[in-house]
Amino acid sequence: MAEPTEDADDVGELADLDIKTVHAVGKAANGTTILLAKSAAAADQAGLFGADYVRDLIAKGADGEPPAPEDEKLTPAQAMALVHAASVRKASPPEVTAAKADGTDPGSPMWEGQDATAAQTLIDQILAVLPGVKALAQREGAEVGAGHMDDLADVCDLNSVADALMCAAKTLGGFAVSEHAESGGPVIKALQAPNTSAADATPTTQESTVTSPSDGAQPGAATTDTAAVAKGDAGLSETELAQYGRLALAKAAAKAAKKKAKASGAAAPDDARLIPGTQTVQAPAQGPDDVMKAQATQFVDAVSQAMAPLAKQLGELAGVVKGQGERVDTLMAGPDDRKSPLLNGAIGVPSLAQRGDGPTATPEFRAVLKAIEEIPEGPAREQAQKGVALAALKARFAPGS
Partner 1 sequence: MTEQRFIVALAYQAGYSPQILTGQDGRIDYVSAAELEKAAHSFARNGMGGGAFHVAGTDAEFEPTESWIHRGPDWTVTAPDGSVTVVKAGDWLVGGYLSPAAWEMYKRGKITGLSPQGAGRRVTTRRV
Specify the residue, 11 or 375, whose C-beta has the smaller distance to partner 1.
11
Distance from C-alpha of 397 to C-alpha of 400, rounded to nearest angstrom: 8
Q: What is the CA radius of gyration of the chain?
A: 48
Q: What 3-state DSSP class applies to 281? A: strand
349 binds partner 1 (CB under 8 A): no
46 binds partner 1 (CB under 8 A): no
Least distance CB 107 / partner 1 (angstroms): 11
Least distance CB 41 / partner 1 (angstroms): 5
Distance from C-alpha of 379 to C-alpha of 211, rounded to nearest angstrom: 96
102 binds partner 1 (CB under 8 A): no
Q: Using alpha carbons only, what angle is made at residue 135 by residues 131 and 136, rounded to the nearest 5 degrees?
A: 120
Q: 227 and 193 in contact (C-beta within 8 Å)?
A: yes
Specify the residue, 38 or 73, whose C-beta has the smaller distance to partner 1.
38
Choosing from 18, 52, 95, 233, the residue that interacts with partner 1 (CB under 8 A) is 18
Choosing from 31, 269, 309, 399, the residue that interacts with partner 1 (CB under 8 A) is 31
Least distance CB 3 / partner 1 (angstroms): 6
**Choices 30-38, 228-236, 308-316, 323-331; region in contact with partner 1 by CB under 8 A:** 30-38
Q: What 3-state DSSP class applies to 307? A: helix
Specify the residue, 21 or 75, whose C-beta has the smaller distance to partner 1.
21
What torsion do the CA atoms of 212, 214, 219, 225 make, to the nearest 10 degrees? Answer: -90
**Choices 9-17, 50-58, 126-134, 169-177; region in contact with partner 1 by CB under 8 A:** 9-17
**Choices 24-32, 162-170, 195-203, 366-374; region in contact with partner 1 by CB under 8 A:** 24-32
Query: Buried b vs exposed e over 251-287: b needs ≥16 C-beta within 10 Å?
Result: bbbbbbbbbbeeeeeeeeeeeebbeeeeebbbbbbeb
6 binds partner 1 (CB under 8 A): yes
Specify the residue, 32 or 330, whose C-beta has the smaller distance to partner 1.
32
Distance from C-alpha of 176 to C-alpha of 164, rounded to nearest angstrom: 18
Residue type, 59: A
Specify the residue, 4 or 184, whose C-beta has the smaller distance to partner 1.
4
DSSP 274: B
**Choices 32-40, 109-117, 151-159, 227-235; region in contact with partner 1 by CB under 8 A:** 32-40
Specify the residue, 50 or 325, whose C-beta has the smaller distance to partner 1.
50
**Choices 5-13, 185-193, 203-211, 310-318; region in contact with partner 1 by CB under 8 A:** 5-13
Distance from C-alpha of 158 to C-alpha of 140, rounded to nearest angstrom: 9
Q: 136 and 158 in contact (C-beta within 8 Å)?
A: yes
Least distance CB 9 / partner 1 (angstroms): 7
Distance from C-alpha of 166 to C-alpha of 244, rounded to nearest angstrom: 8
Least distance CB 21 / partner 1 (angstroms): 4
14 binds partner 1 (CB under 8 A): yes
Least distance CB 228 / partner 1 (angstroms): 29
Residues in 286-325 at the binding interface with partner 1, rule: CB under 8 A: none
Residue type, 69: P
398 binds partner 1 (CB under 8 A): no
Of 213, 211, 187, whose CA–CA distance to 201 is shortest? Answer: 211
DSSP 69: P
Q: How many residues bind partner 1 (CB under 8 A)?
A: 42
Question: Could you count the other beta carbons within 10 Å of the beta carbon of residue 210?
Answer: 22
Which residues in this chain contact partner 1 in the complex, by CB under 8 A? 1-6, 8-42, 44
